[in-house]
Amino acid sequence: MKPTYYVTTPIYYVNGAPHIGHAYTTIAADVMARWKRLDGCEVFFLTGTDEHGQKVEKAAADAGMAPQEFVDGISAQFQAMTRRMGASNDAFIRTTEPRHIASCAALWQRVADAGDIYLGGYEGWYAVRDEAFYGADELIDGPHGKLAPTGAPVEWVTEPSYFFRLKSWQDRLLAFYHANPDFLAPSSTRNEVLSFVRGGLEDLSISRTSFAWGVPVPGDPAHVMYVWFDALTNYITALGYPATDTDLWRFWPADLHLVGKEIARFHTVFWPAFLMAGGIAPPRRVFANGWLTIEGEKMSKSIGNVIDPMALADELGLDAVRFYLMREVPFGNDGNYSRRALVGRLNGELANDFGNLAQRSLSLLAKNCDGLLPASGPATEDDAALRAMAAALPDMLRARLDRQAIGDAIEDVWKVIRAGNAYIDKQAPWALRKTDFARMESVLRLLADVLRAVATMLQPVMPDAMGRMLDQLGVPTDARMLADLAFPLPAGTHLPPPAGVFPRYVEAA
Question: With helix as H, strand as E and coil as C, how does 467-499 read?
Answer: HHHHHHCCCCHHHCCHHHHHCCCCCCCECCCCC
Smallest distance, ligand ME8 to C-beta of residue 207, A: 17
Query: Which residues are bridge partners to 12 per DSSP?
Result: 49
Q: Which of 7, 11, 393, 401 binds ligand ME8 (CB under 6 A)?
A: 11
Backbone dihedral region for residue 219 (phi beyond 0: left; psi -120 to 50: alpha; all else: beta): left
Smallest distance, ligand ME8 to C-beta of residue 254, A: 11
User: Is residue 330 at the binding interface for ligand ME8, with CB under 6 A as the rule?
Assistant: no
CB atoms closer than 10 angstroms to residue 221: 10
User: Is residue 169 at the binding interface for ligand ME8, with CB under 6 A as the rule?
Assistant: no
Q: With respect to ligand ME8, which residue has the nearer C-beta, 81 or 444?
A: 81
Smallest distance, ligand ME8 to C-beta of residue 110, A: 19
DSSP classification of residue 210: S
User: Is residue 229 at the binding interface for ligand ME8, with CB under 6 A as the rule?
Assistant: no
The residue count for binding ligand ME8 (CB under 6 A) is 20
User: Is residue 390 at the binding interface for ligand ME8, with CB under 6 A as the rule?
Assistant: no
User: What gap in Å lies between CA 498 and CA 357, rounded to an integer?
Assistant: 12
Burial 34-53 (b: 16+ CB within 10 A, else e): bbbbbbebebbbbbbbbbbb
User: What gap in Å lies between CA 322 and CA 318, rounded to an integer?
Assistant: 6
Query: Is the sign of the CA dihedral 361, 364, 365, 366 positive or negative?
Result: positive
User: What gap in Å lies between CA 26 and CA 507, rounded to an integer?
Assistant: 27
Q: With respect to ligand ME8, which residue has the nearer C-beta, 22 or 223?
A: 22
Q: With respect to ligand ME8, which residue has the nearer C-beta, 14 or 154?
A: 14
From residue 187 to residue 226, the character string flagging contacts with ligand ME8 as x (rule: CB under 6 A) and all else as - is ----------------------------------------
Q: With respect to ligand ME8, which residue has the nearer C-beta, 231 or 254?
A: 231
User: Is residue 291 at the binding interface for ligand ME8, with CB under 6 A as the rule?
Assistant: yes
Phi, psi of 146 (to 5 degrees): -70, 150
Residues 32-91 that bind ligand ME8 (CB under 6 A): 50
Q: Which of 216, 218, 242, 260 binds ligand ME8 (CB under 6 A)?
A: 260
- Cβ(416)–Cβ(393) below 8 Å: yes
Q: With respect to ligand ME8, which residue has the nearer C-beta, 127 or 373?
A: 127
Q: With respect to ligand ME8, which residue has the nearer C-beta, 278 or 498?
A: 278
- Cβ(451)–Cβ(473) below 8 Å: yes
User: Is residue 13 at the binding interface for ligand ME8, with CB under 6 A as the rule?
Assistant: yes
Which residues, 6+ apart, have CB-to-CB distance to 187 below 8 Å? none
- Show the DSSP H helices in 63-186 as ranges: 67-84, 98-113, 170-179
Q: Which of 10, 86, 186, 332 binds ligand ME8 (CB under 6 A)?
A: 10
Q: With respect to ligand ME8, which residue has the nearer C-beta, 71 or 432?
A: 71
Q: Which of 259, 342, 458, 485 binds ligand ME8 (CB under 6 A)?
A: 259
Residue 109: what residue type? Q
Which span (172-180, 254-262, 407-415, 493-501) binds ligand ME8, by CB under 6 A?
254-262
The burial class, CB within 10 Å (0-12 / 13-18 / 19+), for 340 is exposed
User: What gap in Å lies between CA 27 and CA 9, rounded to an integer?
Assistant: 9
Smallest distance, ligand ME8 to C-beta of residue 7, A: 13
Q: Which of 5, 6, 7, 24 binds ligand ME8 (CB under 6 A)?
A: 24
Q: With respect to ligand ME8, which residue has the nearer C-beta, 28 or 417?
A: 28
User: What gap in Å lies between CA 107 and CA 230, rounded to an integer?
Assistant: 10
Q: With respect to ligand ME8, which residue has the nearer C-beta, 42 or 97?
A: 97
Q: Which of 232, 409, 461, 465 binds ligand ME8 (CB under 6 A)?
A: 232
Candidates 157, 158, 137, 140; CA nearest to 148 is 140
CB atoms closer than 10 angstroms to residue 493: 16
Q: Which of 12, 162, 164, 241 binds ligand ME8 (CB under 6 A)?
A: 12
Smallest distance, ligand ME8 to C-beta of residue 16, A: 8
Residues 262-281 that bind ligand ME8 (CB under 6 A): 262-263
Residues of this chain that interact with ligand ME8 (CB under 6 A) are: 10-13, 21-22, 24-25, 50, 231-232, 234, 259-260, 262-263, 289, 291-292, 299
